[in-house]
Structure 1
Amino acid sequence: MRIYKLKSDVENYEWLTLVNEEDWRMMNHLFNGQPAAEKYRSIQVIKMNDQDRDRPLSDCPYLMPGISILNQKAIDKIWHLFSPYSELLPLSSYEGKFYIVHVTNILDCIDYQKSIFKRFKNSPESQIMRFIKYAFHSDKVGSNLIFKIIDQPKSTVFVTQEFVNYVNSTDITGLKFDLVWDSEEDKVN
């Protein structure tokens, strides 16, 4: 089993940004892995123009960590991969139709014995600050194609090889996949 971090390609494509500063607080509060549709109100976004580079807007532009943005083309081609594990929330934009994909599938699947991580200094049993190396329990990931972990419900989205293979077989632009764990390599280490 291979697990990847799902990321946006910020090197080759433009980002989106929020029009209203106060919407950042709502985004940070709502998108914690729990369903948010009932409390969500449409947020307006615009293309963040980089004066130094002329880059196109992708099908899956970056907005903030822990959420994915899909345009209508991406919805039509890959939403079925996200839908069992996420909710879809509309954005308001003059740039086209965009949607937030908020992953609500939170798994307790980290192998803490094989992972390397740093905790906040206040207490040895405190919350994990960051992971240096991830290791997963394959049986707890199971057939889930996309998920977050209980230690980082607001940030990192993980996907499996099956998800990566399918997305790579389409013409969707703007997604990147960073391999963070391979069960076969883990058996050797």
Structure 2
Amino acid sequence: MQLVKLLNARLNFGGIKQMKRWLKMRVYEWNYNYSKSMVITSDNDENHPITDSFDGEPKLDLWTPIKVRTVSKKSYRDFPVYLSSKPVISARVKEVIEPFVKDEVEFLPLLHDELDLYMINVTKVLDCVDWKRSDIRTYEDGSLAGFNKLVFDFTKIPAETYIFKFVERASTLVYVTEAFKDLIESHKFKGLDFSVVFDSEFTEEKEQEQKRNYEMALEEIERKKVWNSHTKKPETALIKDRLLLVENGKCS
């Protein structure tokens, strides 16, 4: 009986820890700093798996290193931009992240004249879209065309996740968690843009509150658009005009 209580306590504690992680989880879309990252491409070899769709299926057994070349030389080399948008990393990035993502990706070697590079095939594909809160576009037949607004169900993203795809866009989009972002930033690797963020703390209640606040702000702006009988301009326009005069040194 004592052992059962102890096991239940541990399970409950683990469940609480998992819930806390979900409540604080952030997910980022894999994006590049295009202005500073080098760009590479490969010769179009239709028989090589590099031309296949990367949809989560394993590639390593069929892979042979393929020649890639630089199209645009820029300062950031940790995450070269491959022209077909498949993720590529340098050897030094691989060395750091491999212990954490080895069960989520395959590292596919590339051949480059100057750099030791690897293409990433993300094999961790999750069914984790919050369909209730997401806003989607559909084709005439009802099939999914895209997302106007994508919202994740964070309870379906395991807390230990570093990198993943989701089922409906497995062939195109890659996402990483805060743990991956922290790993990259702590080693000062350059080339990724983490500006597109999905936050578990932005709940449906907070989303509705934000919408209400936005609508109230618009109503307040409309309410304050009182026309000035002398200038025939709304007061908001007068305020903007005055600010411009102040900035130009013509009014104090």
Q: Where on the TM-score scale, by shorter chain, does this alignment land: which range?
A: 0.7 to 0.9
Deviation of residue 99 (structure 1)? 0.5
Which residue number in structure 2 is paired with residue 156 of structure 1?
A: 173
- C-alpha separation between the residues in 2 aligned to 1:147 and 1:24? 27
Deviation of residue 67 (structure 1)? 3.0
1:84 aligns with 2:82: no
1:45 aligned to 68, 73, 81, which one?
A: 68
Which residue number in structure 2 is paired with residue 73 of structure 1?
A: 92
- C-alpha separation between the residues in 2 aligned to 1:108 and 1:2? 17
Which residue number in structure 2 is paired with residue 136 of structure 1?
A: 152
SS in 1 for 2:37: coil
Larger RCO, structures 1/2 (Cα 8 Å, 6+ apart): 1
Which residue number in structure 1 is paired with residue 9 of structure 2?
A: none
1:180 aligns with 2:203: no
Counterpart amino acid of residue 164 in structure 2: F
Contact (CA 8 Å) 1:88, 1:99: kept in 2 or not?
Answer: yes
Q: Which has the higher strand share?
A: 1
Q: Which runs of 5+ in 2 are unaligned?
A: 1-24, 208-252
Contact (CA 8 Å) 1:7, 1:177: kept in 2 or not?
Answer: yes
1:114 aligns with 2:133: yes
Contact (CA 8 Å) 2:78, 2:90: kept in 1 or not?
Answer: yes
- C-alpha separation between the residues in 2 aligned to 1:8 and 1:111? 26
Contact (CA 8 Å) 2:129, 2:153: kept in 1 or not?
Answer: yes
Which residue number in structure 2 is paired with residue 170 of structure 1?
A: 187
SS in 2 for 1:22: coil
Aligned length: 181
Q: Which runs of 5+ in 1 are unaligned?
A: none
- C-alpha separation between the residues in 2 aligned to 1:21 and 1:90? 17
SS in 2 for 1:58: strand
Contact (CA 8 Å) 1:9, 1:61: kept in 2 or not?
Answer: no
Contact (CA 8 Å) 2:105, 2:122: kept in 1 or not?
Answer: yes
Deviation of residue 71 (structure 1)? 1.1
Bigger-Rg structure (1/2): 2
Root-mean-square deviation (CA), in Å? 2.0
Q: Which has the higher helix share?
A: 2
Question: Once the two structures are aligned, what percentage of the paired residues are identical?
Answer: 25
1:146 aligns with 2:163: yes
Counterpart amino acid of residue 141 in structure 2: S
2:54 aligned to 4, 14, 31, which one?
A: 31
Which residue number in structure 1 is paired with residue 141 of structure 2?
A: 123
- C-alpha separation between the residues in 2 aligned to 1:88 and 1:108? 23
1:7 aligns with 2:24: no
User: In 2 relative to 1, CA 179–105 (structure 1 residues): closer, same or farther, beyond 3 Å?
Assistant: same
Deviation of residue 80 (structure 1)? 2.5
SS in 2 for 1:111: coil
Counterpart amino acid of residue 4 in structure 1: Y
TM-score, normalising length: structure 1: 0.86
Deviation of residue 44 (structure 1)? 0.9
Deviations 1:16-56 (A, max 9, x none): 111x123597434252211111122222101112xxxx622
- C-alpha separation between the residues in 1 aligned to 2:27 and 2:47? 29
SS in 2 for 1:131: strand
2:121 aligned to 82, 90, 102, which one?
A: 102
- C-alpha separation between the residues in 2 aligned to 1:122 and 1:39? 37
